[in-house]
Structure 1
């Protein structure tokens, strides 16, 4: 199992807009071989720094399945508007990928 995550710092007050972007995007993740599940997670609001932490979390059967997704037409289509709404992002997303060593 492989878990792919992107961490986002979203400007305080823009949380609903960010959630709507994800809610309304046509990712077609379920059409990709090896896809298991997806979650968008909302974390703590850092008042002093002016952002709320979010994490996109997708689970795949393998790292190879995830890499296949990143090279697919579905991936390009899902990310074609990634540069829109720049004002709500405090920096680029930070990717983290993990291979499961213990399941259960």
Structure 2
């Protein structure tokens, strides 16, 4: 399994709008081949970034998503938030799962 984590620093006054954009965007990724799950984690501490996790069957499935028309549409929607909504740049990280407590035999 392939996991993509995006840390997005959102100013508190834009949090509600940010979450609404992701609720709409999530419907686009849900239909993609190889997509498993999307989690948007709201920070408990003001000033900490949101964390957006997407789980994929493979890196290839994720790469196909990034080249799809749905990806372009979703990121165009994120442009509905002004630049000042963000406290800094996002940070994208990618991982391979080596242990999953929900899967027997790991």
Q: TM-score, normalising length from structure 1?
A: 0.84
Map 1:1-104 → 2, pairs under 5 A:
1-25=1-25, 27-46=27-46, 51-85=47-81, 86-103=83-100, 104=103
How far apart, CA to CA, are the structure 1 residues paired with 2:12 and 2:34? Answer: 35
After the TM superposition, which parts of structure 1 deviate over 4 Å for at least 4 consecutive aligned residues?
A: none
Higher helix share: 2
Higher strand share: 1
Q: TM-score, normalising length from structure 2?
A: 0.82
- Judged with a 3 Å threshold, the aligned counterparts in structure 2 of structure 1 residues 58 and 8 are, in CA distance, closer, same or farther, namely same
- Judged with a 3 Å threshold, the aligned counterparts in structure 2 of structure 1 residues 36 and 26 are, in CA distance, closer, same or farther, namely closer
Structure 2 unaligned spans of 5+: none
- Judged with a 3 Å threshold, the aligned counterparts in structure 2 of structure 1 residues 34 and 71 are, in CA distance, closer, same or farther, namely same
Is residue 12–residue 52 contact of structure 1 (8 Å, CA) maintained in 2? no
**What whole-Å deviation, never above 9, does each CA across 1:27-53 have from its counterpart, x for those lacking one?**
42122110001111112323xxxx242
Structure 1 unaligned spans of 5+: none
* Number of aligned residues: 100
